[in-house]
Structure 1
Amino acid sequence: MAIVWSESLTALDWQELENLYRVAPLGNKNARDLETVFRNSRYHCFAHEDGKLVAAGRALADGVDTSYICDVAVLPSHQSLGLGKEVVQRLMKLSAGHKKILLYAVPGKEGFYQNFGFLRMRTAMAVFENPAQAIERGHVFPD
């Protein structure tokens, strides 16, 4: 497996990225929306094998205070090979110097991120477009 890493959006196939997120599975995110969020993110990380996109992630960052790692995805055929770990490590390295690095984990995946030093927050809160779905998926807890 010869993996080629990139941080560039220049030659990225947005349809291929859409497919990655759908099959990873990280939800149905359309190519146009993914292009918007990746272009508005300070850091990006992509892994290609034989020209095929197999892993991706991004971080929103302000350059000083906070970097937020999000949308880490790996093709199912390439999961458990260390690619997700490498994406997170690369985004953390790019985020070095920020006072804090945050991330939002899929419920059940918290242990994966704890291996990088991430700790649970007691004060994190969120407003979701679909609160009922967020509660059902375990992302937030109703009071």
Structure 2
Amino acid sequence: MDIDYKINAPVSAQTFLDLLKGSTLGERRPINDLECITGMVNNSNLMISAWQGDTLVGIARSVTDFHYACYLSDLAVLTSHQRLGIGKHLQILTQQQLGPQCKLILLAAPAANEYYKHLGFEHNPRCWVLDRNQTLN
């Protein structure tokens, strides 16, 4: 299988949406909100994409300062292309774009929680999430 990896290549919101729908990540992303999906793509500052011909088969979408912290917002691979090393390669290419002190941070999907351990990630139980719909006291 010939996969072409690209750094910060243009990805349309619809192409990204199609990938999300074809991966397990679509269950936890706002796939019915094209405006939000468009904002997600347009405001990422590091995207590593995996292509088979003209088909987007995987993506690592991040927001980073490139020196201290990189939040890997989405690591998605089409279900038909999973277990082929694409996700691992996307993560490696992401790290290669970062400075030597930059930490790669992500929130694991429940089904993928164990996946990151074998890639060398360390589990950190100190993550907190505040949903926009929650009010601050």
Do they fold alike, i.e. is TM over 0.5? yes
- The one-character-per-residue Cα deviations of 1:80-107 (angstroms, maximum 9, x if unpaired) are 1111111111112222424422111001
2:12 aligned partner: 13
Q: CA RMSD in A?
A: 2.0
**Which residue number corresponds to residue 80 of structure 1?**
83
C-alpha deviation, 1:40, in angstroms: 2.0
Which residue of the partner structure matches residue 21 of structure 2? 22
Query: Whose relative contact order is higher, 1 or 2, with alpha carbons under 8 Å and at least 6 apart?
Result: 2
Gaps of 5+ in 1: 132-143
| Number of the residue aligned with 2:60 | 57
In structure 2, the gaps of 5 or more residues are: none
Letter paired with 1:38: V
What residue identity is the alignment partner of 2:12?
D
Q: Distance in 1 between matches of 2:35 and 2:90?
A: 22
Deviates more, 1:107-116 or 1:44-53: 107-116
- TM-score normalized by structure 1? 0.78
User: What is the alpha-carbon distance in structure 2 between the residues aligned to residue 96 and residue 111 of structure 1?
Assistant: 26
- Determine the structure 2 residue equivalent to 1:92: 95
Report the more deviating stretch, 51-60 or 95-104. 95-104
Q: Give the match's secondary structure for 1:71.
A: strand
Identity fraction in percent: 25
Letter in 2 for 1:57: A
Distance apart, 1:128 and its partner CA: 2.2
Say if 2:13 and 2:38, in contact at 8 Å, map to a contact too: yes
Deviation at 1:51, TM superposition (A): 1.2
Whole-Å separation in 2 of the counterparts to 1:86 and 1:65: 21
Is 1:48 the equivalent of 2:51? yes
Distance 2:3 2:68 in 1: 32
Contact 2:9 2:49 in 1 (8 A): no
Offset at 1:129?
A: 4.1
Q: Deviations over 1:6-30 (max 9, x none)?
A: 11343x2321210110120212434
TM-score by length of 2: 0.81
